[in-house]
């Protein structure tokens, strides 16, 4: 089971958002493996009805356990639930979307995965 890290609190992984970035860092969502100390993280910039996925960070110890896929799917589920238009800037997210074309329905009209 994965957990969503929202600031200092851990919640069952339903991929929420951290829109309060008092230190000026980009907003992010993250997941943590149960009992694990390492968290996977995806950074985004939320502007109106658009969300730019800008960077992912998956620690080496979690790379082999499908953590990037879980993080990306949870994030995309949240994007869809919030009815946001997706603009992926992160190469790993673009690769995921190429490999899983069903998620491309979330792309802002005209955005291409190059």
pLDDT tens, 29-86? 766 655 566 678 888 888 899 999 999 888 887 777 778 888 899 889 989 999 999 9
DSSP E strand boundaries for 1-114: 2-6, 9-12, 27-33, 39-47, 50-57, 85-88
pTM as predicted: 0.73
pLDDT at 36 (0 to 100): 60
Tell me the residue range of the domain where 12 lies.
2-19+26-106
Q: Is residue 112 part of a domain?
A: no
Q: What is the pLDDT of residue 39?
A: 76
Read off the CATH number of the domain in which 69 is found: 3.40.630.30
pLDDT above 80: residue 21:
no
* Overall number of domains in the chain: 1
Does residue 114 fall inside a structural domain?
no
């Amino acid at each position: 089971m994965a957990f969503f890290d929202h600031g200092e609190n851990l919640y069952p992984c339903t991929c929420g958002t951290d829109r309060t970035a008092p230190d000026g860092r980009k907003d992010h969502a993250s997941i943590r493996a149960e009992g694990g100390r390492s968290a996977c993280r995806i950074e985004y910039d939320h502007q109106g009805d658009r969300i730019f996925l800008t960077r992912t960070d998956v620690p080496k110890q979690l790379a082999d356990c499908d953590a990037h896929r879980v993080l990306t799917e949870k994030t995309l589920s949240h994007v869809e639930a919030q009815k946001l238009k997706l603009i992926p800037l992160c190469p790993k997210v673009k690769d995921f979307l190429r490999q899983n074309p069903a998620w491309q329905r979330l792309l802002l009209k005209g955005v291409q995965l190059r």
